[in-house]
Structure 1
Amino acid sequence: MSYQINGLKDIHKLLVNERKIGGVIEVNTLRLRTGETYQHAVITNIDLIGSSIYSIGFVTEDGQNLIVNITELGLLDEPKHKKVYELNNQAYKKTKTIEKMKYLKRLFEVNDGSTSPIFREEAQMIIEDIGLPAAKKEVDTSIIYSEKNVYSIA
């Protein structure tokens, strides 16, 4: 799925709507004005005052959470909207997969015995985000995907 992002406002919109569309924003390289560079950083937050961006939060490959003032940001190289299973940042991939799996398991518990269209749509979006192989380890995905209609997701 990997989509190119054109600006910080686009990133902010994707982050705000993460529950509806899934995925995360990963950059090849994030460089600060001080020269520090971070490979495969995942943007987790953009803070606004009105319509002005003042800080950006991200997670590094070693799992470190950093928040920097927007004036300290030097470069975001190739920001892309990716599914969680497509991430190169393994630390964030693991954390986000666990988080989404916990939510998915709870969703299945709450909707036990019911396969409403709303439940199926939300569960399918989460499964497509973390990948079918990961989801199959924890929940019965046959409720969402009948065996004859399964297409490779991961």
Structure 2
Amino acid sequence: MKNQINGYEDMNTVLANERKIGGVIESDYLRLSSGEDFNNVVITKVELIGSAMCSIGCVTEDGQRLIINAKDISVIHQPEHKRIFELRNQSFKHKKIKEKLKYLKRLFELNEGSYNPFFKEEAALLIEDIGLNNAKQEIDVSIIYPEEKIYTIA
């Protein structure tokens, strides 16, 4: 995936459509006007008042949750839309994989015996987002990816 983000509007669009497109936004680093740097920051929320950007919510490498006023941001370096398994921010990655696996298990449970196209589409998106290897450890994914195709996706 690794799509470049070109501004706050792109961030807001990606975050608003997370369920449809998957992934998260990660930046190499975020620098505040005060000079503080945070590496591998995951952007979790973009707050808008009308069309003006007000603040962003993010998670640092050590798991700190920050809400930062837009005026206090100096640089958001190389923000990219990435799949969860591609993240360098390990604390957020583990939390989000666990959360998505729980949702995926529940999705399989609720649709047991009735694997319709909508279920398969949503399950495939979740599996691609967290990584096939992570999903295979917890769930039998052969319904979504028959054995002959599994080796080409990993």
TM-score class, shorter: over 0.9
Output one character per residue of 1:17-64: Cα deviation in whole Å (capped at 9) or x when no partner.
000000000000100001110000000000111111101000000000
Question: Which amino acid in 2 is paired with 1:30?
Answer: L
1:150 Cα deviation after fit: 2.1
Inter-CA distance 83–113: structure 2 relative to 1 (3 Å threshold):
same
Match of 2:121 in 1: 121
Match of 2:95 in 1: 95
Question: Which amino acid in 2 is paired with 1:126?
Answer: L
Output one character per residue of 1:64-89: Cα deviation in whole Å (capped at 9) or x when no partner.
00001110011000000000000000
How many angstroms apart in 2 are the aligned matches of 1:80 and 1:119? 28
Match of 2:36 in 1: 36
1:152 Cα deviation after fit: 4.1
Question: Which amino acid in 2 is paired with 1:141?
Answer: V
- Contact 1:131–1:153 (CA under 8 A) maintained in structure 2: no
- The answer to whether 1:11 aligns with 2:36 is no
RMSD: 0.9
Secondary structure at the residue paired with 1:35? coil
List structure 1 segments (4+ residues) > 3 angstroms apart after TM superposition: 151-154
How many angstroms apart in 2 are the aligned matches of 1:35 and 1:108? 47
- The answer to whether 1:23 aligns with 2:23 is yes
Secondary structure at the residue paired with 2:142? helix
1:115 Cα deviation after fit: 1.1
Q: Give unpaired runs (5+ residues) of structure 2.
A: none
Inter-CA distance 32–153: structure 2 relative to 1 (3 Å threshold):
farther
Match of 1:62 in 2: 62
How many angstroms apart in 1 are the aligned matches of 2:77 and 2:29? 5
TM-score relative to the length of structure 1? 0.97
- Contact 1:124–1:144 (CA under 8 A) maintained in structure 2: yes
Match of 2:47 in 1: 47
TM-score relative to the length of structure 2? 0.97
How many angstroms apart in 1 are the aligned matches of 2:146 and 2:152? 13
Q: Give unpaired runs (5+ residues) of structure 1.
A: none
Output one character per residue of 1:127-151: Cα deviation in whole Å (capped at 9) or x when no partner.
0000001001111100100001224
Secondary structure at the residue paired with 1:148? helix
